């Protein structure tokens, strides 16, 4: 009896193509080129059309997501540094010890503030895009 094994190859190739498409879409969405801060600020000041405001909002939202990722990495570093053993000068003279975890905590706070500012600018440009769209 002859069996048709071609369906297995077709199924495997279809799954492979779907997986490749899914990976490429994920890669493309996260692969936005980072715009220079000065250029983005100039673009935000000169935006007039709804499309320009939407582009500015998108780039500010991407910057905010980048700052949030930095804040998370700083928080992870704080947890790593503060969970270690207390040895050497840290144990003998705590007041003289280097508090690198405090610096990391400060960097995390600054990154969160920058993310909030970027989200606020992005929301403002979304509103401006909507208003400009209704005005046309």
Examine the domain organization and report whether 41 and 94 are in the same domain: yes
Q: Are residues 7 and 43 in the same domain?
A: no
For residues 117 and 129, membership in a common domain is answered with yes
Q: What are the tens digits of pLDDT across the range 57-84?
A: 999 999 999 999 999 999 999 999 888 7
13 and 72, same domain (yes or no): no
Neighbours of 63 (CB within 10 A): 21
- Residue ranges making up the domain that contains 41: 35-135
For the stretch 93-111, what's the b/e string if a residue is b when 16 or more beta carbons lie within 10 angstroms of its beta carbon?
Answer: eeeeeeeebeebbebbeeb
Q: Is the same domain home to 51 and 23?
A: no
Please indicate whether residue 124 or residue 134 has the higher confidence score (pLDDT).
Answer: 124
- Dihedral, CA atoms, 104, 105, 107, 111, nearest 10 degrees? 140
């Amino acid at each position: 009896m002859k069996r048709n094994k071609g369906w297995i190859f077709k199924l495997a190739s279809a799954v492979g193509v779907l997986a490749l498409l899914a990976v490429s879409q994920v890669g493309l969405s996260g692969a936005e080129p980072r715009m220079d801060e000065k250029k983005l600020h100039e673009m935000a000041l000169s935006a007039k059309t709804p499309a320009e405001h939407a582009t500015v909002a998108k780039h500010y939202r991407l910057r905010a997501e980048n700052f949030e990722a930095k804040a998370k990495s700083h928080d992870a570093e704080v947890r790593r540094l503060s969970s270690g053993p207390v040895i050497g000068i840290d144990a003998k003279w705590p007041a003289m010890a280097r508090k690198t975890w405090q610096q990391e905590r400060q960097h995390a706070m600054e990154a969160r503030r920058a993310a909030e500012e970027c989200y606020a600018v992005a929301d403002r440009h979304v509103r401006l895009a909507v208003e400009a769209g209704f005005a046309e």
